[in-house]
Structure 1
Amino acid sequence: MPLAAVIPVKSFVKGKSRLAPYLSEAQRKALNRNMFNHVLKTIGAAKAINEVIVISGDEDALQMAENEGAHAVLEAEQSNLNSALDVARKAAMALDADSLLVLPADLAKLETTDVTALLEAADKFDDKVIVAPDTKHQGTNALLQQPIDAIPFVFGSDSFSAHQREARNSNIDVIVIERPGLAFDVDGPEELKILEDRFLNQES
């Protein structure tokens, strides 16, 4: 299955605004940039992924993507996550991908073994949707679908349940994968406390 991975990236400056009480603007920019760089390189090391697409309105993020051999797609202004992913899906289809993996840019503990686990689960079914939740079982921290247009993107409030519901409504098998590297994302001070110092390094 020709597989494309998509990483949607918010502005490094504006992203993680909820952390503003705990980090300076420069620290938040460094955090966003370093986490994205980690996810980008981790996905790039997964040999089973044929294409990597980064969609963002941040020029720095797009340049980083191109430097790693990924496809850079400029996100339209005033776009939301789901509409941006629709654009990325069309880009993946133009690259002849027939399955799609969406991973957020803030998976600071993501490892190649996490990506491998997703792909191994995908091999068990022809048509499927694979969902990995966050630690609260509310958000979607990984979404793999085959065929590439199996379900619409419904990221937002309680998207973990929403993506499963969309799959079942389409009579497509749903697989839930739970791994620490996929579940951990950075949304508040609790995650900052256990985050490696290198992610706040402004020199990276």
Structure 2
Amino acid sequence: MRVFVPYTDRDPKSRLAPALSESERREFSRAMLRDVLRAVREAGGAPELLVPDAPDSTLFEGSNAPDAVSVTVDERPLTPAVNDALDRLRERGESEVAVVMADLALATPTALRRLFGVGGDVAVAPGLGGGTNALVVRDPRFSVDYHGASDRDHRQIAARVGLSVETVDSMRLAVDIDEPSDLAEVLLHGRGEAREWLCDAGFVVDADGDGRVGVRRS
């Protein structure tokens, strides 16, 4: 199965700015991307990077980088870029195509195999907060819309054209890394290069507070 992984090096993960400098955010984002690409490949998918700019060779330099990745360059916003990519693959005879976000630092091959194997015209792995972290499309009448509460919107799009939707309830696919508080999830549950990067940068779990577990930097 062809699996599109959208990614950008343009001011990556800006909401992590309170915890990481711009260069650190780029390094950490690349580590997460490589973890996702490796998980996709080990789950049996064929990853294809969807980027607004042609990547340099250092993007794939890391302990968790897969051997080879196809690249599609499209400078448009996420929704039209993904929809055009889906259309081109359908024209080439692909019966099912997946889209997996690049910041799913907890994703594992097992979690992705669940998504790839579930039935339905559309299979969705919702993200926390109403987003769509990963999906599989098996009908050409479906199109994506990543604005706002995209999980709800994707169900409505499918319903309008009579398509069935199956949901994969997975912690590892539901958690995308956007805020400094999300870094604790990577330290607690991550298994790849992104966790190693945080540890090397001096981040540790902070469980001394009265509320949610957080992180601190030594």
Range of TM-score over shorter length: 0.7 to 0.9
Q: TM-score, normalised by structure 2?
A: 0.78
Matched, 1:113 2:105: no
Cα distance in 1 for partners of 2:19, 2:165 equals 38
Count of matched residue pairs: 189
1:61–1:28 Cα change, 3 Å: farther
Matched, 1:56 2:54: no
Cα distance in 2 for partners of 1:8, 1:179 equals 20
Match in the other structure for 2:161:
170
Could you say what secondary structure the match of 1:194 adopts? helix
- 1:195 CA drift (Å): 2.1
* Gapped regions of structure 2 (runs ≥ 5): 188-194, 202-218
Cα distance in 1 for partners of 2:39, 2:57 equals 16
Q: Would you say the 8 A contact 1:43–1:112 is kept in 2?
A: yes
Match in the other structure for 1:25:
22
- 1:67 CA drift (Å): 6.5
Match in the other structure for 1:143:
135
Equivalent position to 1:131, from 124, 127, 138: 124
Matched, 1:71 2:66: no
Deviations 1:127-175 (A, max 9, x none): x111111123x0001111102x231111120001000010111101111
1:96–1:70 Cα change, 3 Å: farther
Deviations 1:75-133 (A, max 9, x none): 22xx10011112322442355311111000000000111111112213xx4xx111111
Residue identity in the other structure for 2:174: A
Could you say what secondary structure the match of 2:56 adopts? helix
Q: Would you say the 8 A contact 1:133–1:160 is kept in 2?
A: yes
Cα distance in 2 for partners of 1:38, 1:57 equals 20
Q: Would you say the 8 A contact 2:15–2:180 is kept in 1?
A: no
| Cα RMSD (Å) | 2.3
Q: Would you say the 8 A contact 2:18–2:180 is kept in 1?
A: no
1:71–1:110 Cα change, 3 Å: same
Match in the other structure for 1:185:
176
Cα distance in 2 for partners of 1:46, 1:113 equals 7
Match in the other structure for 2:86:
89
Residue identity in the other structure for 1:152: S
Greater RCO (Cα-Cα under 8 Å, separation 6 or more): 1
Q: How does 1:144-163 map to 2 (within 5 A)?
A: 144-147=136-139, 149-163=140-154
* Gapped regions of structure 1 (runs ≥ 5): none
Q: TM-score, normalised by structure 1?
A: 0.83
1:42–1:67 Cα change, 3 Å: closer
Instruction: Find the structure with the greater CA-based Rg.
Output: 2
1:141–1:23 Cα change, 3 Å: same
* Percent of paired sites with the same residue: 25
Matched, 1:38 2:31: no
